[in-house]
Structure 1
Amino acid sequence: MEFPVELFINALLAGILLGGFYAVVTVGISISFGILDIVNIAHPAFIVLGSYIAYIVNQRLGVDPILTAIIVLPIFYALGSVVYQVYYLSFEKYGQEALRGLTFFFGLLFVTEVLLILVFGVDYRYVQADYIQTVLRFGFFDLPLRMVLPFIVSILLLIGLQVFLSKTFTGRAIMAVAQDQLALSLMAANPIRIKRIAFAISIATAAIAGALLIVIQPVEPSLGREYIGRVFAICVLGGMGSLPGTVIAALLLGIVESITSTFYGPSWAPAVAFGFLLITLAFRPAGLLGR
């Protein structure tokens, strides 16, 4: 039996595009969990919230969902600042951030989900844009724009964040805050303020990820649960706090899932993907680019 080369290449391309989307979904967790050691289990709920905001603006005003996400970035940043301040004053300040902090984010996850159900119901919602139904064809390659544009936006966002973290004082302070808060204080930087900025940035990325999610597929309030295990797996696989590692891990997971779904069926994709994760961590416990 001849190997289906064309089918394999299309599955590979689809996996790369899917991996780009996984990267933008995970980047907020890479900052909050990988750098700040805050287990924000509610992050996928903020992503779904971003999807619904893009949906409302698109349906009522006809604004492109990706443009909407850029417009509401400051709102999500402010929301992240408030959430971190509540978390700090309630748990971190008293050294109770481990179990009780996790409970706080679980509660936030379910409260956000219930509010979305009360407002929108459980029906799937989708947005309208010309490019969503457009497919670019190059020979036997099929590239749907609803996947290509999220991939491009995701890579641009991750490049921008990497430059910010590596080239600016605030960015370097964010990278340092998890390592030595006392040394950071001696450099005239308030560790709590730096952590608040970092957490706010992680929530702001959810606005972009949410808009890209609803471009790729219709959403409903509980959809975020499907991504909880995946985003933490990518974060760990890439190396805690490493944005380049996040990109590589997301691409690998996307490719594995796409090829598995194409040749063996979608039901096998999660099992094979997480099996790949476990095998990789067995040989590289710190992750692909972890220290």
Structure 2
Amino acid sequence: MVTASTLLGLAVDGLAFGVFLALLGVGITLVFGLGEVLNLAIGTFAVLAVLVATVVVQQGMGLVVAAVVALVAVAAFGLFVDRTLLSLVYRSEGEDRILLGIFTTLGLTVLLDGILINYFPSRYTLPLDVGTLSVAGATLTGSSLVIVAVGTVVLAAVFAFLRGTFLGKATRTVFQDERGARLVGVNPRRIRTLIFVLSAAVAGLGGLVFAAGSAVAVSNGFEFTTFALIISIVGGVRSLVGAIGAGVLLGLVNQFANFFVGSYIATIILFVTAIVVLLARPEAIQ
């Protein structure tokens, strides 16, 4: 018999997974919504952060230091990608830009995976030594609680940045009307660079929070990208709020489905959900 305490534990773990999904969804939505580039390397950015953090930890540093170094490294790599590969992509417009962005970022993913697998052939984890917490008879995983707290703060910070800072308002202006943004002195290209770097860091954080509870391999990059696409589709490809809501919802659905019907069926449920949403709301991808 499934008890209320078991359900509470599943809900907390589901929220933690949902935060991970939301971070990936926000990362891919930021870039597509602003620059119409579908970043299929988003999952690789997440994996790269885990690998960098693992190397730093192996050098004797603490998890916090490792996380900071990893996020800075991924953000710097995102800057490099934006100023090189994406500079070519942004020269095109409309469907040509979308297609070129897909092929460019997919090619980057294949290249990086081929290189990284030679140096990092194992699975890596960054466990948080925080124990468990007993609430109302339920044993809650400490790492899940930390993930939910950290993810919530970061997502709130992203929204605060977009709504309360000059650069954030400039970003929203470009998002809504690029031509109008140019007229008031906003440089859309620089804003796109800023947002791509931000999205890379957010995806990197997603990888770190996932590694706090599960092992990560280089091959997980494609899986993470698939998750990000599903979240973006379900939430609306241009909606950050939708991405967060979809991430949390599907995180809960996935966790409960894992418990009741197994991981294989749970994965199928995620894909079926995306298909149903596309059929019911085709405007979500417009």
TM over 0.5: yes
Q: How does 1:1-291 map to 2 (within 5 A)?
A: 4-64=3-63, 66-95=64-93, 96-120=96-120, 122-127=121-126, 129-131=128-130, 134-287=131-284
Residue 94 to residue 278, structure 1, CA distance change in 2 (3 Å): closer
Unaligned residue ranges in structure 1 (runs of 5+): none
Q: TM-score, normalised by structure 2?
A: 0.90
Preserved CA contact (<8 Å) 2:36 2:98: no
Preserved CA contact (<8 Å) 1:23 1:246: yes
Q: Distance in 1 between matches of 2:213 and 2:207?
A: 10
The 10-residue stretch of structure 1 (233-242 or 109-118) with the greater mean CA deviation from structure 2: 233-242
The letter of the residue matching 2:115 is L
Q: Distance in 1 between matches of 2:257 and 2:98?
A: 36
Preserved CA contact (<8 Å) 1:81 1:196: yes
The letter of the residue matching 1:85 is R
Paired-residue identity, %? 26
CA distances 1:147-178 after superposition (whole Å, capped 9, x unpaired)? 22122111111000001111222112222324
CA distances 1:208-245 after superposition (whole Å, capped 9, x unpaired)? 22222221212211111112221111112222332222
The letter of the residue matching 2:28 is I
SS of residue in 1 equivalent to 2:219: helix
CA distances 1:73-123 after superposition (whole Å, capped 9, x unpaired)? 343333222211223432321444232321111111011112211212x22
The 10-residue stretch of structure 1 (212-221 or 71-80) with the greater mean CA deviation from structure 2: 71-80
SS of residue in 2 equivalent to 1:142: strand
Preserved CA contact (<8 Å) 1:32 1:199: yes
Preserved CA contact (<8 Å) 1:37 1:178: no
The 10-residue stretch of structure 1 (76-85 or 244-253) with the greater mean CA deviation from structure 2: 76-85
Instruction: Give 1:14 shift.
Output: 2.2
Q: Distance in 2 between matches of 1:266 and 1:75?
A: 33
Q: TM-score, normalised by structure 1?
A: 0.89
Preserved CA contact (<8 Å) 1:150 1:212: yes
Q: Distance in 2 between matches of 1:89 and 1:18?
A: 34
Instruction: Give 1:9 shift.
Output: 3.4
Residue 70 to residue 11, structure 1, CA distance change in 2 (3 Å): same
Preserved CA contact (<8 Å) 2:25 2:243: yes
Q: Distance in 1 between matches of 2:274 and 2:8?
A: 23
The letter of the residue matching 1:225 is F
Task: Count matched residues.
Answer: 284
Residue 241 to residue 70, structure 1, CA distance change in 2 (3 Å): farther
CA distances 1:46-79 after superposition (whole Å, capped 9, x unpaired)? 1100001111111212311x44223443433332
Preserved CA contact (<8 Å) 2:5 2:136: no
Q: Distance in 2 between matches of 1:67 and 1:208?
A: 13
Unaligned residue ranges in structure 2 (runs of 5+): none
Preserved CA contact (<8 Å) 1:77 1:201: yes
Preserved CA contact (<8 Å) 2:127 2:211: no
Residue 74 to residue 54, structure 1, CA distance change in 2 (3 Å): closer
Residue 143 to residue 3, structure 1, CA distance change in 2 (3 Å): closer
